[in-house]
Structure 1
Amino acid sequence: MSFHLKIFLLLVVVTLVSSHTIRSLVNECKKKVTISDELEKSFLELNFPPEEETSRCLMHCIGETLQLVDGDTGAARLDNIKVMLKGPDSSQEEFSEEHMKCLEQISDEKEDNCSMAFQVYQCFEQEFLELMKKDLEENE
């Protein structure tokens, strides 16, 4: 990947993430996903119950909005995830073996888009939560 393309991807992802707080993402996704008041409160506290289909579809919507998952399949867009989590000079080897095993397991399973996107979220849950918590603290 060329240096200019890396910089462009970084700018796109940083702009997408910084312009979207968890609150704005949930509000935007409410247009596509029916979210109860109780679950909305849970999501805004960064709790995403995996047993709830709404949680899975919310993650698909958020992932699609941030261009972290493919909108049609729910599959991970690894280049964008790498840029978001590690910056423009990251390489696939920088993902842990645990991350890669998790992603391989997802690709072996044929699930619906929402479940696929939620599983991608779960593979990077700790890193994504750190970013969202940081965002919450900055916007309080």
Structure 2
Amino acid sequence: MFYLFAIVLTNLHLIYHQITTHIDLFPFNNVREYTRKEQLTEAAIHFISMGFPVLALLSDCKIMALVAAVELGLMFAGEIYTWWTAYFFGARFAWQSNWKELHQRIFSKTIIMLPARGKNPAPNLEHCILHILTLLSGIACLLYYIYG
């Protein structure tokens, strides 16, 4: 049961990200504003990072499932740090210096369901769904490790 749950969620997570990175579904996403290099980098890095949990589960090795759960937990923490700190507190940190420009160019014209917080960049619907999938995939891998 937990194995199937984890396999379905991790595959959905990977496929969802690759579709929203490669296919223009405007106004849901805005891949037309990515440079080709940005698009390929985004797709490749996340194919590896989101593909690892799928391979870990397919290996049927419990320790690999735990590593996948930790990796997805770190990925989720990065998503929160990148998207949600900028939304709640503004893009103040040094690493966020170009975040407002990037957000304005790519994400500001997409579906954003959250209320504006001044001029802070808000997570769009595409990424809110991605964050939920990341969290659920990590939980599923952890449940498989514990109970599977």
For the aligned pair, the TM-score class normalised by the smaller chain equals: 0.3 to 0.5
Normalised by the length of structure 2, the TM-score is 0.32
Q: Comparing both chains, which one has the higher relative contact order based on Cα–Cα distances under 8 Å and sequence gaps of 6 or more?
A: 2
Structure label with greater radius of gyration: 2
The structure where helix makes up a greater share of residues is 2
TM-score, reference length from structure 1 = 0.34
